[in-house]
Amino acid sequence: MRYQKLPSDLYTQNREAFMKAMKPGGLALFFSNDIYPTSADGTLPFKQHADIFYLSGVDQEETVLLLFPDAHNPADREILFTLETNEELAIWEGAKLTKAQATEETGIKNVQWTTAFERTLHRLMAEAKSLYLNDNQHTRARLTVETRTDRENAALRAKYPHHEIERSAPILHSIRAVKRPWEIDQMQRACDITKAGFDRVLQFVKPGVMEYEIEAEFMHEFLRRGSRGFAYTPIIGSGFNACVLHYIENSDECKAGDVILMDVGAEYGNYASDMTRCVPVSGRFTDRQRAVYNAVLSVMQDAMKLLRPGVSLHDYHKEVGDLMTAQLLDLKLIDRHDVEKQNPAWPAYKKYFMHGTSHFIGLDVHDVGHWHEPIAPGHVFTVEPGIYIREENLGIRLENDIVITEDGFHDLMAHIPLEADAIEAAMNA
């Protein structure tokens, strides 16, 4: 394993928080992700389902977690099912977790092989009043592939039609949104690795380099520091490409006079970081580029101060919109008439800043959390305003990850160069 594993106490606490929120008599199931095929005998690298990882710390396929806090036998209240190693598997892929190792990693004493899952579940369902099923209820999810969880849920509904079905997602969205100190430490490590990649890139960028070469420089630094790579598909967009919000081709040449938008982040221990920086290909911003850059930076810095306990995300985004409106007026990209006649559902500033400012981040880049609930200590958000001027081939977005504290916020990326002067100084050192 490349990363430093977290103490099993974290996962024990996470399970306790989930079970405390369950209704009496409920039994909950969580499944690992499939290993997804490509073609022929190819597969994608395995990526564990965030929920089972959050509750167990197991980063292995063919895993099932059963939680039944009201089971008559205390040994049945937490059961982990894992894949048993055989000689062939050990030779070709390496040994899987032993039962003792699984207990050490998770804090779960009752570990069984996956072959025992069906009969154990059937026995316990006779005691259970309801079945908690998990599914992807993220508001931005676009589901086109049936997951293992989808398949198992369908089979369970058919096999146990007389049990009440409860939803695990609302509970998980609440407890996962509030990060524990150990989790924040992992996210800080991911941000530190991201900084190392950015420091490397600042010395590398010059006219004529390809966007994908910059991507490679980040990847080099990420891998050598214990990350498995990018937390999400990186965006390295120079010139007009910076105005394409989810540009991921990273295939063009970086030309003198252009600005490169780099939206990248390392993962560490399955936790994500999410950073955006913009740098001038030639090592110096033009006056216009600097003016737009500083406008975005001003909105970013003011937006961070707005994210505090008790604030609603709806109100926060509205206030950020007002901040951006003021900056766009100063840049003469919009005028007072545009603001006066704007559609409240799509304000004038949206012409140049068309996305949201912040999202939850954690085990998922766009992490789970309840948008209608007030911001609370332990929430971790991105702050990422941007201005995209397509007619000028100029896109500027700046992004840091911050932790909400009792009295404000802590910036996990405060040590990463951000000011225009700092960017130029690093590039010309």
Instruction: Give the DSSP letter string of 336-402.
Output: HHHHHT-BTTB-GGGGT--S-S--B-SSSSS----TTSPP-TT-EEEE--EEEEGGGTEEEE-BEEE
End-to-end Cα, the chain, rounded Å: 37
Residue from 119, 167, 314, 355 carrying the catalytic annotation: 355
Residue-wise over 162-183: b if at least 16 C-beta within 10 A, else e?
ebeebebbebbbbbbbbbbeeb
Residue 258 is a catalytic residue: no
Residue from 267, 399, 401, 424 carrying the catalytic annotation: 399
Residue from 246, 336, 337, 372 carrying the catalytic annotation: 246
Residue 49 is a catalytic residue: no
> What three-state secondary structure class fits 267?
strand
Q: If residue 278 lies in a helix (H) or strand (E), which one and from where to where?
A: strand 275-280
Residue from 173, 397, 401, 424 carrying the catalytic annotation: 397
Tell me how far apart the alpha carbons of residues 264 and 273 are, in angstroms, rounded to a whole number: 8
Residue from 78, 247, 388, 401 carrying the catalytic annotation: 388
CB neighbours (10 Å) of residue 420?
19
Residue from 217, 274, 401, 424 carrying the catalytic annotation: 274
Does the CA dihedral 120-125-130-131 come out positive or negative? positive
Closest CA to 330 of 356, 292, 297: 292
Residue 399 is a catalytic residue: yes
Residue from 41, 93, 340, 406 carrying the catalytic annotation: 41
- Per the listing, tokens 């949206």 go with 350
Residue type, 140: R
Residue 263 is a catalytic residue: yes
Residue 388 is a catalytic residue: yes
CB neighbours (10 Å) of residue 85?
15
Helices (H), 37-126: 50-56, 87-92, 99-106, 117-125
Residue from 78, 263, 267, 401 carrying the catalytic annotation: 263
**Phi, psi (degrees; rounded to nearest 5) at 66:** -115, 125
Residue 302 is a catalytic residue: no
Residue from 34, 76, 211, 384 carrying the catalytic annotation: 384
Whether 168 and 30 have beta carbons less than 8 Å apart is answered as yes
Residue from 70, 166, 366, 411 carrying the catalytic annotation: 366
Q: What are the Cα distances from residue 13, in Å, to 22, 169, 195, 246?
A: 15, 18, 31, 37
Residue 397 is a catalytic residue: yes
Residue from 359, 364, 379, 401 carrying the catalytic annotation: 359
Instruction: Kindly list the catalytic residues.
Output: 41, 246, 263, 274, 355, 359, 366, 384, 388, 397, 399
